Structure 1
């Protein structure tokens, strides 16, 4: 398992973003420089956890629980075939393009150390597709198509800060004792709401917004007469 490339984005003015600034940082490009990764602070205040990377819509992106976004090169290759066009590393807005990691089966709360003595990152949830993502790719019906496929990449929080370089190995340092995968969490949040009670097994590692939704759904189900 390794990081193929570290990708950072600069603010770009576009017509299709929901960000109040009218800009987006989704156009991320690989860098050959070492990049510092740290906790950016709470959502709405902190942006990307990757130094030099732009997050323009702080309402929906960035913050401690979405500090870093990783997507597998193997899954980009799938979409290259499906869409019939080249898709470069960073094209899905990911900070880390990885190799050798099955992003759908990683567990919420799983922790990776990047490189030798680099940062420790913890998986929190999958990525919900948005209008900016669809417009950036120029794909009509993209949000529905991406959601059906349910291979979303993984958002990560920073447990220990450090530097990441393209080519760094990814080491598994903790794998929780539950079955809540990124794919399950995504499906629970989108097209299979009946899975919401099950994702609570991930505990405090689960993205707090999804945890709150799961608690609310579960409480409502318990109040509903059988």
Structure 2
């Protein structure tokens, strides 16, 4: 694992504003969703399972230590805003962190981010997979397919070291695995079979990363 000095910035820290009744994984079923996240002021504690003040309503498909924090890049949000012709404020994608100056979908699985000055360290795990709940929230036609085809899906992170985070914090990429597989490559298969094998050979691979990589391997 090599060291790097790439720097980004936390533009906003978002947690659940209110639960919404939206279509969930079960066809036509309306379920509570915590996708409505909005920025909060001040420093927010980040623990093993996520940010204080945040939660998930569907633990089968969301949350857990491998999906503790969801990040989305400002430049990808801006591209969508231009395409959709409307503002997409921080939290609109259901993200906990809106960040700039750093790749998120293009981040290497397993790279680690030192965030702020309070000891918080996050590790990139798996890409976000769009679902029917997200489609209902967006109110856009064919949203799941459009979002997936574009591939700007953002990434989940696990908490390596707990700490706090606030808007304005610096993000330093302190290490990056040499396998080179990005969140995007894991999402759309562009990592290739050799890349997936390199990823699966990595030490201490989070369970959901291994699951997703194995699912894309051709027998």
For Structure 1 versus Structure 2, the TM-score category normalised by the shorter chain is 0.7 to 0.9
CA gap of 1:196–1:58, structure 2 versus 1, over 3 A, is: farther
CA gap of 1:133–1:217, structure 2 versus 1, over 3 A, is: closer
Structure 2 counterpart of 1:211: 210
CA gap of 1:9–1:110, structure 2 versus 1, over 3 A, is: same
Deviation at 1:176, TM superposition (A): 1.1
Deviation string, structure 1 residues 31-88 (Cα, Å, up to 9, x no partner)? 0121110112xxxxxxxx1111121110100000000000011111000001011110
Q: Is the 8 A contact 2:115 2:169 kept in 1?
A: yes
Give the TM-score of the pair, scaled to structure 2.
0.87
CA gap of 1:215–1:197, structure 2 versus 1, over 3 A, is: farther
Question: 2:30 aligned with 1:30, yes or no?
Answer: no
SS in structure 2 of the partner of residue 148 of structure 1: helix
Deviation at 1:216, TM superposition (A): 6.0
- What is the CA RMSD across the aligned residues, in angstroms? 2.1
Deviates most, 143-152 or 194-203: 194-203
Q: Is the 8 A contact 2:20 2:34 kept in 1?
A: no
Q: Counterparts of 1:207 and 1:149 in 2: how far apart (Å)?
A: 26
The correspondence for 1:198, drawn from 195, 198, 215, is 195
CA gap of 1:5–1:164, structure 2 versus 1, over 3 A, is: same
Deviation at 1:11, TM superposition (A): 4.2
Structure 1 counterpart of 2:127: 126
Q: Counterparts of 1:32 and 1:217 in 2: how far apart (Å)?
A: 40
Structure 1 counterpart of 2:98: 97
Give the TM-score of the pair, scaled to structure 1.
0.84
Question: 2:16 aligned with 1:4, yes or no?
Answer: no
Question: 2:20 aligned with 1:13, yes or no?
Answer: yes
Structure 2 counterpart of 1:144: 145
Q: Which protein is richer in helix relative to its size?
A: 1
Q: Which protein is richer in strand relative to its size?
A: 2
Deviates most, 159-168 or 17-26: 17-26
Structure 1 counterpart of 2:159: 158
SS in structure 2 of the partner of residue 91 of structure 1: coil
For structure 1, list consecutive stretches of 5 or more residues without a partner in the other structure. 41-48, 222-226
CA gap of 1:21–1:34, structure 2 versus 1, over 3 A, is: farther
Aligned residues: 208
Structure 1 counterpart of 2:168: 167
Q: Counterparts of 1:216 and 1:73 in 2: how far apart (Å)?
A: 30
Structure with the greater relative contact order (CA < 8 A, sep ≥ 6): 1 or 2? Answer: 2
